[in-house]
Amino acid sequence: MPLRRCSRYSLEDARGDGFSPLPNVGLQLFDVVTVTDARAEVSSEVYRVRGIEETYDTTKDPLVYGQRVGLGGK
């Protein structure tokens, strides 16, 4: 699961508030995910998905389709 450009600090925030990857319609609550991002100095760290917020708005141009994912403990 790719993280946007972030630092170790923003990954810590992702555990609380979440982060916004490219939308993944197969992601479910409590899925186990492995996160690797060299920019954040994270390599194969395992987390559980503890929250998913999806945004889909066809009234805007361009179309809005996004996802915010909260990470929890292993």
Cβ atoms of 40 and 10 within 8 Å: the answer is yes
User: In sequence order, what are the residues at sequence separation of 6 or more whose Cβ sits closer than 8 angstroms to the Cβ of residue 8?
Assistant: 40, 41, 42
Please write the tens of the pLDDT for every residue from 3-57: 444 434 445 444 455 678 888 889 999 999 888 877 777 788 898 999 999 988 8
Domain segments of the chain as ranges: 8-72
pTM above 0.75, yes or no: no
Which CA distances in Å does 70 have to 8, 56, 58, 60, 73? 15, 18, 25, 26, 10
